[in-house]
Amino acid sequence: MPAPFPNRKPRALFVLSPWAFDNIYGPELRGEIAQRVDVLADPIAGDKVINHPDLLAKTDLILSGWGGPRLDANLLALLPDLRAVFYGAGSIRGIVSDAFWTRAIPIVSAWAANAVPVSEYTLATILLSLKRFWTYAGEVKRLGHYPGTQPVAGGFGSTVGLVSLGMIGRRVAELLRPFDVKVIAYDPHFAPADAAGLGVELVSLDEVFRRSDVVSLHTPWLPETEGLVTGAHFESMKPHATFINTARGAVVREPEMIAALQRRTDLHAVLDVTHPEPPSAGSPLYSLPNVTLTPHIAGAVGPECRRLGRYMIEELDRWLVGQPLRWQVSKERAQTMA
C-alpha cells in the first residue's frame, strides 16, 4: 500500500464526545497527532458534525471514539475525500453502515487495546472468586464479626470455565497460565489445536457450567447468542461456584438467572454488565446478597483510555507510510463484535 500523502500532511477531524476526546486523546497524544496531520478544528460531537459541511469537505481522516458519528450515506456524501477512520474505542457496529462498506474506506478500532483492562479485571475477579472473597466480605459486613469457615475452591487444582475464546477470552486463558488451575472453555468456532496451544480443554457449554468453580462469560451480543446462558446453567453449577459477566447482559436470560440465584444462595454472580444497563429500579440484582454489581468498569476507564489513543497513533503511523494496518476491521469482523 503506497503512502497516501507524499507531498502534504493529511487533514484530520476529531469527531466524538467531549468526554471521550479528553479521555482517549489526552494532551500528550494530541500533540503527537498534530505532528503527523493537520487538525482542521476543535473536536466536534458526533451528532453535530453534519452541521459542518465545509470542514467535512476538506477531511481526509476521521479520528473518533465513543460518541462518534454514524457513517451513513448522508454523512459520507459530505466526506468526498475521506480516506480512513481511526476509531479509538471497541466495537464499530454502531457507527458503520452499508454505505460505508460500499466506499471501501479502511477503518481501524482500538478493540484490542480495550481487551487489556477487561482481561485484567477478569483475572483479578477470578482469583478473588476462587477464595469466595465476595461472600466472605459480605458476611463480615452483615454480621459484624468473622463468619465461620466455609468451603473454598482456592487456586490449586480448581477449574475455571471460559465461555468464548475471542480476544478477551484468549487473553484471560493466557493470564491464567501461571496459576495452578485447569481451564476449560466453550467456543464452537475455536479449533481444538489452537485451544490445546492455549492449555485449554474445549467442552460443551453445559459442561463449562457443570464442572467449573468459576465461569467467566466473554461472548459478544449477537442475534444467535442472545439468551445463550439460561437458568438451567446456573442450577447446574457446582456448590459455591461463581459466575462473572464482563461481556453483555443480554447473553444471559436475566430473569432465569435471578430466579436461580434466589434458590441457589450458595452461588455468587459478579456482574459488570446487565440488561438493561443499569438494572431497572427495584431489580433484585441490587439487593440479592449473592450478587456483586460493578458499573461497567471492566473496560478502559480513566487513564486506561489513553491506551486506546496510543493504538490509534500506532495505526496512523502505519497508514501514513503505507504499511498494513494491524487492527483494521472488516465488514465480517464488525458483525461479530460485541
Q: Which member of 132, 218, 248, 307 is catalytic?
A: 248
Is it the case that residue 257 has pLDDT exceeding 80? yes
* 277 contacts 249 by C-beta, under 8 angstroms: yes
Q: Tell me: do 145 and 259 sit in the same domain.
A: yes
Dump pLDDT digits (tens) for 20-76: 999 999 999 999 999 999 999 999 999 999 999 999 999 999 999 999 999 999 999
Same domain assignment for residues 67 and 173: no
Indicate which residue of 296, 304, 314, 318 is catalytic: 296
Task: Say if CB 220 and CB 338 are below 8 A apart.
Answer: yes
117-141 pLDDT, tens digit per residue, is 999 999 999 999 999 999 999 999 9
Res. 98: pLDDT tops 70 = yes
My answer on whether 252 and 154 are in the same domain is yes
Distance CA 193, CA 240 (A): 32
228 lies in some domain: yes
- Are 141 and 260 in a shared domain? yes
How confident is the model at residue 1, as a pLDDT? Answer: 53
Residue 1 forms part of a structural domain: no
Q: Residue 182: give the domain boundaries.
A: 115-293
Does 287 lie in the same domain as 151? yes
User: Is 296 marked active-site?
Assistant: yes
Instruction: Locate 285 and state its grid cell.
Output: 440484582
Number of domains in the chain: 2
Residues 274 and 146 both lie in one domain: yes
| 97 shares a domain with 78 | yes
**pLDDT (0 to 100) of residue 132:** 96
**Are 13 and 44 contacting, i.e. CB atoms less than 8 angstroms apart?**
yes
CB 238 within 8 A of CB 213: yes
Measure the CA–CA gap between 69 and 12, rounded to whole angstroms.
15
CATH number, domain of 32, equals 3.40.50.720
Within 8 A by CB and 6+ apart from 277, the residues are: 249, 296
> Per-residue confidence at 285, pLDDT binned at 50, 70, 90?
very high
Task: Determine the pLDDT at residue 336.
Answer: 81
248 flagged as catalytic: yes
Mean pLDDT within 187-193: 95
Task: Give me the chain's average pLDDT, please.
Answer: 96
Is 70 tagged catalytic?
no
Does any domain span residue 5? no
> Catalytic pick from 32, 256, 277, 304?
277
SS3 per residue for the chain: CCCCCCCCCCEEEEECCHHHHHHHCCHHHHHHHHHHCEECCCCECCCCHHHCHHHHHHCCEEEECCCCCCCCHHHHHCCCCCCEEEECCCCCCCCCCHHHHHHCCCEEECHHHHHHHHHHHHHHHHHHHHCCHHHHHHHHHHHCCCCCCCCCCCCEEEEEEEECCCHHHHHHHHHCCCCEEEEEEECCCCCHHHHHHHCEEECCHHHHHHHCCEEEECCCCCCCCCCCECHHHHHCCCCCCEEEECCCHHHECHHHHHHHHHHCCCCEEEECCCCCCCCCCCCHHHCCCCEEECCCCCCCCHHHHHHHHHHHHHHHHHHHCCCCCCCECCHHHHCCCC
**Mean pLDDT across the stretch 146-168?**
95
pLDDT of residue 8: 87
Q: Are 264 and 237 a contacting pair, CB within 8 Å?
A: yes
Give yes or no: residues 146 and 251 share one domain.
yes
- pLDDT of the residue at 338: 66
Is residue 201 in a domain? yes
pLDDT (mean) for 184-202: 96
Residues 79 and 206 in one domain: no
pLDDT score at 4 = 67
Shared domain for 77 and 37, answered yes or no, is yes
